[in-house]
Amino acid sequence: MSITNKDERLIESWITLSGIFKNSRFTTGLHYNEAIIMNIVYKRYLEDGEGIVSVKEIIKKTRMLKSLVNRTVNSLLNQGLVEKCEHGDDKRVVHIKCSKDKTNMFLSVHSSSLSHAQNIINIIGEDDTDAFIRIVDKLEKSGYSI
């Protein structure tokens, strides 16, 4: 039976995409959630030279449970990849930043992810890559979550 209904095709595509993007293989060297949080912190570091991010921001961006973010941040702290820091007036808000002496470890993991991304760009092309990014951005801006 051929799938023609767009709802069904979208679900089928999502399942296929989930199989292609195996979490553990895309971020070799760190657990998936660790790599996601490190990517957020590192991106902020590239933007402002400090990389200070609140746990609250991470929860909002990733939509992970607070307990999962806290566990993952603690794991990153134990590995020395991030460190806690004070930022702003509210001392109740936990902030983290990249540990500069451990940034190279993250960058080696990140370079592997970038290599996977480049392979995908080579397969689907620049236009479809731009369309994919635009679609994901649109979904994020809508606030939609499953």
Asked, for residue 16, whether it belongs to a domain, the answer is no
Domain for residue 106, yes or no?
yes
Query: What token pair was written down for 138?
Result: 């649109």
What mean pLDDT is predicted for residues 59-85?
95
Which domain does 112 fall in, by range?
A: 21-142
pLDDT at 23: 56
Q: For residue 121, is it within any domain?
A: yes
Instruction: Please count the structural domains in the chain.
Output: 1
- Classify residue 42: in a domain, yes or no: yes
Indicate whether 32 belongs to any domain. Answer: yes
- Closest listed residue to residue 77, CA positions, set 99, 60, 55: 99
Whether residue 5 is contained in a domain is answered as no
- State the Cα–Cα distance between residues 72 and 38, nearest whole angstrom: 10
SS3 21: coil
For residues 50 and 41, what is the distance between their CA atoms, to the nearest angstrom? 9
For residues 95 and 26, the model is more confident at 95
Q: What is the CATH number of the domain that holds 114?
A: 1.10.10.10
Residue among 114, 95, 92 nearest 41 (CA): 95
The DSSP secondary structure of 35-95, one letter per residue, reads: HHHHHHHHHHHHHHSS--EEHHHHHHHH---HHHHHHHHHHHHHHTSEEEE--SS-TTS-E
The more confident residue out of 49 and 23 is 49
Average pLDDT rounded to a whole number, residues 87-92: 81
Average pLDDT value over all residues in the chain: 88
Residue 109 lies in a domain: yes
